[in-house]
């Protein structure tokens, strides 16, 4: 206590901070953890990808099977993101703006894909649409293949990624309430005008954030798609499955070259996410505070 | 436009939020719905606007039966307690929203919409602020933007939910005088909800005192203070005495009508 009375040149130590030693220890530990678990793997991916020079790297990426995998991944992700954006907005709207029985059950159902192992999610589609089942057999007789075809990949990806958009929007829309929508209605706007001119502008950054996360997961999904894909090279292999196939064939440079594409994609997503948080931090904070 | 409410009922589960309400509002009247929280005053206001589904009764706007009309068709000007301004639109775009969303057939030309918006801004004394956004305005200014936005659609009736609730005491008093003036100038039938006795007694032509979903008394302010119809009204109006001498019925009444008996 006497330190407070005695005036000396030394700055007062803040009472809310730890000692220098503890601070350095904690920061050092966190830094080391980040380097070992995040930075090193990233460096290894790129080092292996370029191990035989840029020529081998480009050759691996322009291989016909790789191109097919890239195209398929983009296609699957695009469809999954589109469907889940529509679904996510609708689900968040229902949950945030209306009171009804079974609302908590609906919220739990939306979260289901997060709590179920992706492999099980894939299995479910094989069990429903596989050739040995009644429904699958009927569909195949009518020329519709789902399992071991692109439709199955899309279904599995949609299932695994459907919580992302809804999960981002629900707390945001709940926090905003419905007064602005009511105001628009009382001023004569139709339901669609209200959604387009009032609701959507209010959620746009949160929505973009959700789409970004959904897209990252859709492109990187492995477990669920590996079960339904059948892994036919050049036909039903997405990028992650293609990486695995190349790796099992001991084609290290090619495997890591394709993997580096996925890593780049993650970095791009991260950069866009950081930009959104920096530029529209208030809204994102509102949405994360509600969780 | 005169408004008639007949046997209006609303239940939340087993609670009677509105208990067969009968109420007549004259054209051009400024009416206060006064009561404690949970008395049903806001539910009644929202029911008139069509924002709250009702369980029974009728709401008539003049000769029109509004009960079956949607919110949009009722054409009411509703000012929300927290204003509910569109955050991403400029002040002018907020005010002209009701005109811009009209069907092409009924929508005025672009220049006409702009002219009407600017006219309304002048009316609420915010000329020159059309390019501002709601978060760049003070509470009192936001409230006036919300009012201008509601007036833009030339409403059949103006409904205000706790219009001064979110403002500090000084601004509240100024706006009260200003709102009375605006009402007298424009002549819209106006209903506002408040839990503040002084506000209701000072501002309104007539006051409706609500308690537990039923009307306790409807009368001019003087009569509410001098001849409370029920024990509840006497106690609720008299509460001002507990809060401080300034809000006692007598001093409130002195301001409402200077020639009141003080004996």
Render pLDDT for B69-120 as a digit per residue (tens, 0 to 9).
999 999 999 999 999 999 989 999 999 999 999 998 889 999 999 999 999 9
Structure tokens at A96: 């945030």
Rounded CA separation A98/A236 (Å): 41
B156 to each of A204, A236, B83, B139, B160, how far by Cα in Å?
A: 34, 63, 19, 26, 13
The pLDDT value recorded for residue A234 is 73
Confidence of residue A233 (pLDDT cuts 50, 70, 90): confident
Q: How many CB pairs under 8 A join A and B?
A: 62
Render pLDDT for B114-139 as a digit per residue (tens, 0 to 9).
999 999 999 999 989 989 999 899 98
Closest Cα in chain A to B52: A182
Q: Nearest CB to A179: which of B74, B82, B150?
A: B82
Largest CA distance in chain A: 92
Rounded CA separation A217/A209 (Å): 13
Backbone CA torsion sign across A87, A90, A96, A99: negative
Q: Nearest CB to B84: which of A180, A190, A197?
A: A180
Structural element, H or E, at residue A216: helix A200-220
Closest Cα in chain B to A183: B84
Q: Nearest CB to B72: which of A179, A185, A197?
A: A185
**Residue A215, SS3?**
helix
Q: Nearest CB to B71: which of A186, A193, A197?
A: A186
- Residue B57, C-beta contacts closer than 8 angstroms, at least 6 positions apart: B5, B6, B7, B8, B9, B20, B21, B67
pLDDT over 70 (residue B223): yes
Structure tokens at B91: 């002040």
Is the Cβ–Cβ distance between A97 and A195 less than 8 Å? no
Cα B43 off chain centre by: 13
pLDDT over 80 (residue A15): no
Cα B195 off chain centre by: 12
B83, B84, B166: which to substitute to probe chain A, counting the most A Cβ within 10 Å?
B84
Q: Nearest CB to B76: which of A186, A189, A202?
A: A186
Closest Cα in chain B to A182: B51
Place of tokens 């000329």: B127
CB contact under 8 A, A187 and B97: yes
Is the Cβ–Cβ distance between B72 and A188 less than 8 Å? yes
Chain A residues whose C-beta is within 8 A of a chain B C-beta are 179-180, 182-190, 193, 197-198, 201-202
Please state the rounded mean pLDDT for residues A81-91.
Answer: 95
Rounded CA separation B79/A95 (Å): 26
Q: Which residue has the higher pLDDT, A270 or B201?
A: B201
Distance from CA of A179 to the nearest CA of B (A): 6
pLDDT over 70 (residue A63): yes
Closest Cα in chain B to A189: B101
CB contact under 8 A, A182 and B51: yes
CB contact under 8 A, A182 and B84: yes
Q: Which residue has the higher pLDDT, B167 or B254?
A: B167
Q: Nearest CB to B101: which of A179, A187, A202?
A: A187
Of B44, B41, B98, give the one whose Cα is nearest residue B75. Answer: B98
Confidence of residue B239 (pLDDT cuts 50, 70, 90): low
Within 10 angstroms of residue B140's Cβ, the number of other Cβ atoms is 19
Residues forming a β-bridge with B210? B215
Structure tokens at B42: 């806001």
Distance from CA of B217 to the nearest CA of A (A): 29
**Percentage of residues in chain A with pLDDT exceeding 70?**
91
CB contact under 8 A, B71 and A179: no
Would an 8 Å CB–CB cutoff place B117 in contact with chain A? no
Rounded CA separation A76/A154 (Å): 5
Please state the rounded mean pLDDT for residues B208-231.
Answer: 93
Q: With beta carbons under 8 A apart, name residues in chain B contacting A185.
A: 51, 71-72
Within 10 angstroms of residue A77's Cβ, the number of other Cβ atoms is 24
Render pLDDT for B166-217 as a digit per residue (tens, 0 to 9).
788 888 888 888 899 999 998 999 999 999 999 999 999 999 999 999 999 9
Q: Nearest CB to B149: which of A182, A185, A187?
A: A187
The pLDDT value recorded for residue A150 is 86
Confidence of residue A136 (pLDDT cuts 50, 70, 90): confident
Closest Cα in chain B to A185: B72
B49, B101, B117: which to substitute to probe chain A, counting the most A Cβ within 10 Å?
B101
pLDDT over 60 (residue A202): yes
A75 to each of A58, A157, A244, A272, A280, how far by Cα in Å?
A: 22, 11, 20, 21, 29
Would an 8 Å CB–CB cutoff place B51 in contact with chain A? yes
| Stretch among A151-155, A239-243, B137-141, B241-245 having the lowest mean pLDDT | B241-245
Backbone CA torsion sign across A227, A231, A234, A239: positive
Q: What's the whole-model pTM score? A: 0.78
The pLDDT value recorded for residue B258 is 43
User: Tell me, what DSSP letter sits at residue A35?
Assistant: I
| DSSP structure string for A106-175 | HHHHHHHHHHS-HHHHHHHHHHHHSTTSHHHHHHHHTT---TTSHHHHHHHHHHHHTHHHHHHHHHHHHH
Task: Mark out the alpha helices in B136-196 (DSSP H runs).
Answer: 139-151, 169-186
SS (H, E, C) B52-89: CCCCEEEEEECCEECCCCCHHHHCEEEECCCCCCCCCC
CB contact under 8 A, A188 and B102: yes
Q: With beta carbons under 8 A apart, name residues in chain B contacting A197.
A: 86, 97, 101
Q: Nearest CB to B49: which of A186, A197, A202?
A: A186
Rounded CA separation A114/B183 (Å): 56
Helix and strand totals (H; E) in chain B = 10, 10
Q: Tell me the CB-side half-sphere exposure of residue B56, using CA atoms within 13 A.
A: 11
Triad B189, B191, B195: Cα angle to 5°: 160
Place of tokens 């290290």: A252
The pLDDT value recorded for residue B245 is 41
Closest Cα in chain A to B97: A187
The pLDDT value recorded for residue B243 is 43
B12, B52, B73, B86: which to substitute to probe chain A, counting the most A Cβ within 10 Å?
B86
Rounded CA separation A166/A86 (Å): 9
- Residue B134, C-beta contacts closer than 8 angstroms, at least 6 positions apart: B83, B85, B86, B87, B89, B91, B94, B142, B145
Phi, psi of A33 (to 5 degrees): -60, -45
Q: What is the ipTM of this complex?
A: 0.85
């Amino acid at each position: 206590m006497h330190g407070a009375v005695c005036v000396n040149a030394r700055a007062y130590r803040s009472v809310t901070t730890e000692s220098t030693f503890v601070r350095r220890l904690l920061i050092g530990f966190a830094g080391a953890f980040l380097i070992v678990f995040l930075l090193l793997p990233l460096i290894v991916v790129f080092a292996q990808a370029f191990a035989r020079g840029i020529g081998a790297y480009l050759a691996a990426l322009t291989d016909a099977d790789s191109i097919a995998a890239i195209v398929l991944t983009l296609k699957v992700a695009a469809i999954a993101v589109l469907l889940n954006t529509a679904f996510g907005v609708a689900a968040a709207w229902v949950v945030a703006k209306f009171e009804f029985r079974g609302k908590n059950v609906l919220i739990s159902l939306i979260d289901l894909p997060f709590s179920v192992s992706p492999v099980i999610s894939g299995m479910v589609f094989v069990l429903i649409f596989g050739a040995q089942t009644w429904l699958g057999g009927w569909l195949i007789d009518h020329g519709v293949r789902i399992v071991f075809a692109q439709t199955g990949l899309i279904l599995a990806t949609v299932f695994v990624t459907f919580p992302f958009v809804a999960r981002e929007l629900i707390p945001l829309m709940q926090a905003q309430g419905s007064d602005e929508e009511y105001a628009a209605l009382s001023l004569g706007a139709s339901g669609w005008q209200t959604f387009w001119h009032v609701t959507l502008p209010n959620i746009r950054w949160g929505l973009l954030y959700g789409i970004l996360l959904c897209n990252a997961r859709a492109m990187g999904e492995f477990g669920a798609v590996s079960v339904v894909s059948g892994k036919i090279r050049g036909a039903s292999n997405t990028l992650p499955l293609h990486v695995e196939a190349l790796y099992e064939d001991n084609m290290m440079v090619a495997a890591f070259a394709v993997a580096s594409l996925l890593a780049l994609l993650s970095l791009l997503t991260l950069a866009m996410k950081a930009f959104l948080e920096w530029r529209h931090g208030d809204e994102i904070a509102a949405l994360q505070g509600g969780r | 436009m005169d408004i008639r409410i007949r046997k209006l009922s609303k239940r939340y589960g087993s609670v009677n939020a509105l208990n067969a309400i009968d109420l007549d509002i004259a054209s051009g009247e400024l009416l206060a719905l006064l009561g404690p929280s949970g008395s049903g005053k806001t539910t009644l206001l929202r029911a008139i606007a069509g924002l709250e589904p009702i369980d029974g009764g009728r709401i008539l706007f003049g000769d029109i039966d509004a009960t079956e009309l949607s919110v949009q068709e009722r054409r009411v000007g509703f000012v929300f307690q927290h204003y509910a301004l569109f955050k991403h639109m400029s002040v002018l775009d907020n005010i002209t929203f009701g005109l811009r969303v009209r069907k092409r057939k009924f929508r005025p030309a672009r220049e006409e919409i702009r002219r009407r918006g600017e006219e309304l801004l002048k009316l609420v004394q915010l000329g020159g602020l059309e390019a501002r956004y709601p978060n760049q305005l003070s509470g009192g200014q936001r409230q006036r933007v919300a009012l201008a936005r509601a007036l833009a659609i030339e409403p059949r009736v103006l409904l205000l939910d706790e219009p001064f609730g979110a403002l500090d005491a000084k601004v509240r008093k100024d706006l009260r005088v200003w709102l009375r003036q605006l009402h007298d100038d424009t002549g819209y039938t106006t209903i506002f909800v408040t839990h503040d006795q002084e506000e209701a007694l000072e501002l309104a032509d007539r006051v409706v005192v609500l308690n537990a979903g039923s009307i306790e008394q409807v009368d001019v302010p003087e009569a509410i203070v001098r001849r409370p119809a029920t024990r509840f009204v006497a106690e609720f109006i008299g509460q001002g005495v507990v809060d401080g001498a300034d809000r006692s019925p007598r001093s409130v009444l002195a301001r409402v009508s200077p020639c009141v008996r003080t004996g």
